[in-house]
Amino acid sequence: MLGDFSRVLRFKSHLLVLDAGPETLFVVDEFRRSVLAGALYVRIAACMREQMTIAQTLATLSETFSEWQVLAALDHLVSKGYVSIDLADERDAARGFFERIGIDARTACERIDRQRVEVRAFGVDARAQIRAFEASGMEVSGEAPLVVALTDSYERDELAELAVQVLARDGMLLVVMPYGVQPLVGPLLAGPNDGHDGPCIECVRYWIGLNQPVQAVLARHHGDAARRLAPAHTSAGVNAVCAFVAALVEQITVSEARRDTARGQILSLRLDTSMVAAHRVVKRPQCHCCGNPHWMRQQAARAPSLTDSTSIAQRESGFRSADPRQVWQRYQHLISPVSGAIAYLHPMPKRHVGLRHVYAAGYLVRPAGTPRTNRFDRICSGKGRTDEQARVSALCETLERFSGVYQGDEATVRASMNELRADPEYFGLPIDINDLQQFSERQFARREQDNPLTDDVRKQVPLPFPPDVAIDWTPAWSLTTGARRCVPLSYCYAETPESAQGLFFCVHNPNGSAAGACLEEAILQGLLELIERDATAIWWYNQVARPGIDLASFGDAYFDSLVREYASFGWRLWALDITHDLGIPVVVALAEEPETGRFSIGFGCHLDSRIAVQRALTEVNQLLDLAADAPSPWDAAKLTSKQFLYPAETLAVADASNWPRLEFQSLKEAIEHCKARLAAAGMELLVVDKTRPDIGLPVVQAIVPGLCHFWPRFGAPRLYSVPVKQGWLTHPRDEEALNGALLFL
């Protein structure tokens, strides 16, 4: 390997090479250290310091070591990359830098010498960036293969036009927003021949704009200028960002791996804290520029296909096809305040304590109308018996709600109910809004006097829907009959164009919406939520006494520990069996502080009674606020009696043996069981597929016309008939006699 013995070898300049006595030589780098044992290496190092040739080194050491020993040691130093045959020069430090990051130094320096960069600026001063490139030795010129676009907003149309031009000539574009406390660098956009299927400029603008909802609303009134914040920067900060960009371009130039990473991420630099964070930018399969803008419509035109192959992997948190860790790994990249669907996710303060695992998460929305309040942040939460379960619960809950926000590419048709009934070919027969919302005639009659009492749309009563008025509809598929139906768009999606008009005919209702690791899982979870809320409404508004549940009978250490933990801070914890005519276990758990009479409440439904109990208990954790001034989960002044909240003394206590143990081999089998129970009660199961391809997490809304919601919807016939059918009441209550404390959780 050594060849010409007249050459002079030297240790590479980025290495610290020193002996520690006559038998040990240390080779130290910034990230690595090596020990070369033996006097031979110490002696060779001394010869190199004297700049001896290989031949001179052999001669000098010949009295102590054989030629073979010396050559073998030199070969070892060469193979380890410790030595070089070139002369020291001004590029030594740069070569050492590339050596330290595992890149061939000679090739890297050659690529940098050849690199040309074009700098374009929109609303910012480009001089600091040009100086930074020139100081790094890179040529700044027009029509270069790499363009760095400095901008004061990703939303500038000029930036989008430049991206199209650069990529059309197979160039690369690096977007940089250098101003502000948090400058942004990236992503690197590449042309179609680059071999990397990354996001386009419109994908980037979508994700950035999603997390700037106020600017989006203001732009409706003032144009794109409203998207650009007033300049705020220091000279030192701008120079630091420009130097960082030059260093990044250097890395992009010499490293294919670094180039790949830069294509799919934005780097944020917090100049006030010196923190750097990476934010993934997801390519949108439904992007109108680089994807299929008809994706959501085509998805809605396909009936959901359930398979038997989706087996149940484990049962601790329910019938799941993947464990929480797998789900977290798949979707955690969607959390980012810069470019994510989820703006934040963290343990919930004051509630994530001890055995109570509760996470808070949120996403931002651009309201369809002009909000009168700061209502851009939508808060979600997640709970579980473990920290991991709670974290993933919050993740999925937020992605589910995010997927249910109207984006404009959903399958829709505008028609009256009469028109759809006359021509059901495309969307199928419509589901009457009044049948879905189930407001009573009395509620409609009182809407003018009751609605002004609250700004909460959920608590308001819309207009009765006339069948000859045109509204927007979206397709739903019946899993009971296989037929296509249609449901009001505003019922399924938030922030629809119709919602911008204020309360009209339909209130958005996410009841039955759920996410899952697969389609079957999402459908099952949404269906269980519907059944849970139906049973809850019947129990709550009729104030029927139900049996308590012996939590100890389940032999679950978590249940027992949770009861003790609540007792330790002065609260009682218990559960009631509110399972009704559908025969699927539904549980309500309650906690009370006897001294103050304050409550927390939670509900759970599952085919496995233990999991139903667990879900109810963890929801109590989720809603529990120990603060003395915490709001009540309901208006205590309107609760005429609390007796139904406690275990009925006249009914036998339920235990784990009360529910038959059902075994299912697949999620489809579990869905079929629930569907059969609904069909026996004369009800149909519908599904709206809300899965967003850029999110990837299956999201559906299960809809069963006829089931009650625990929101006050007093026109639902089951609200009055089921308690009598079950023998809980001797006759139906009048609407005026229903529980006056309304349930909104």
Q: What is the pLDDT of residues 665-716, one digit of tens each?
A: 889 999 999 999 999 999 999 999 999 999 999 999 999 999 999 999 999 9
290 part of a folded domain: no
Q: Do both 119 and 75 map to the same domain?
A: no
553 part of a folded domain: no
32 part of a folded domain: yes
Q: Do both 84 and 126 map to the same domain?
A: no
Q: Do both 138 and 274 map to the same domain?
A: yes
pLDDT at residue number 315: 55
Q: Is the pLDDT of residue 641 over 60?
A: yes
126 part of a folded domain: yes
CATH number at residue 276: 3.40.50.720
Residue 538: C-alpha distances to residues 580, 637, 640, 649 (Å): 9, 21, 17, 20
If pLDDT is split at 50, 70 and 90, which confidence band does 1 have? low
731 part of a folded domain: no
Q: Do both 159 and 64 map to the same domain?
A: no
Q: Give me the mean pLDDT over the 456-485 stretch.
A: 92
Q: Do both 142 and 83 map to the same domain?
A: no
If pLDDT is split at 50, 70 and 90, which confidence band does 90 have? low
Supply the range of the domain harboring residue 35: 10-89
Q: Do both 45 and 137 map to the same domain?
A: no
246, 280, 314 - which closes a domain: 280
How deeply is 212 buried, as exposed, middle or buried, from its count of CB atoms within 10 A (0-12, 13-18, 19+)?
Answer: buried
pLDDT at residue number 479: 96
Residue 685: C-alpha distances to residues 312, 374, 696, 704 (Å): 22, 37, 24, 5
CATH number at residue 80: 3.90.930.60
413 part of a folded domain: no
298 part of a folded domain: no
217-225 — which CB contacts under 8 Å span 24+ positions? 217/366, 217/367, 217/370, 217/371, 219/155, 220/370, 221/370, 224/153, 224/155, 224/156, 224/157
Least confident of 17-26, 300-309, 499-508: 499-508
pLDDT at residue number 150: 97
Q: Do both 62 and 143 map to the same domain?
A: no
DSSP H or E stretch at residue 538: helix 519-542
CA end-to-end distance (rounded Å), the chain: 75
254, 280, 306 - which closes a domain: 280
7 or 471, which is more confident: 471
Q: Do both 140 and 253 map to the same domain?
A: yes
Residue 430: C-alpha distances to residues 228, 296, 418 (Å): 44, 20, 9
If pLDDT is split at 50, 70 and 90, which confidence band does 313 have? low
Q: Do both 84 and 170 map to the same domain?
A: no
Query: pTM (2 decimals)?
Result: 0.91
pLDDT at residue number 361: 97
- Tokens representing 195 are 């071999």
515 or 218, which is more confident: 515
Q: What is the pLDDT of residues 591-612, one digit of tens each?
A: 999 999 999 999 999 999 999 9
Cα angle 302-307-308, degrees, rounded to a multiple of 5: 170
Q: What is the pLDDT of residues 99-108, one digit of tens each?
A: 887 887 778 7
Q: Do both 45 and 127 map to the same domain?
A: no
Question: How many whole angstroms separate alpha carbon 151 and alpha carbon 161?
Answer: 13
- Tokens representing 402 are 């995010």
421 part of a folded domain: no
If pLDDT is split at 50, 70 and 90, which confidence band does 663 have? confident
CB atoms within 10 A of CB 732: 15
Report the candidate in 331, 329, 686, 389 with the shortest Cα–Cα distance to residue 526.
686
Q: Give me the mean pLDDT over the 411-418 stretch.
A: 93
For helices 324-331 and 387-403, the axis angle rounded to 10 degrees is 50
pLDDT at residue number 195: 63
If pLDDT is split at 50, 70 and 90, which confidence band does 114 have? confident
Residue 587 in contact with residue 576, Cβ under 8 Å? yes
Q: Do both 68 and 183 map to the same domain?
A: no
Q: Give the chain's domain count.
A: 2
234, 256, 280 - which closes a domain: 280
Q: Give me the mean pLDDT over the 497-522 stretch.
A: 88
Q: Do both 264 and 141 map to the same domain?
A: yes
225 or 543, which is more confident: 543
Q: In this structure, what DSSP letter does residue 684 have?
A: -
If pLDDT is split at 50, 70 and 90, which confidence band does 175 have? very high
Average pLDDT value over all residues in the chain: 91
pLDDT at residue number 623: 93
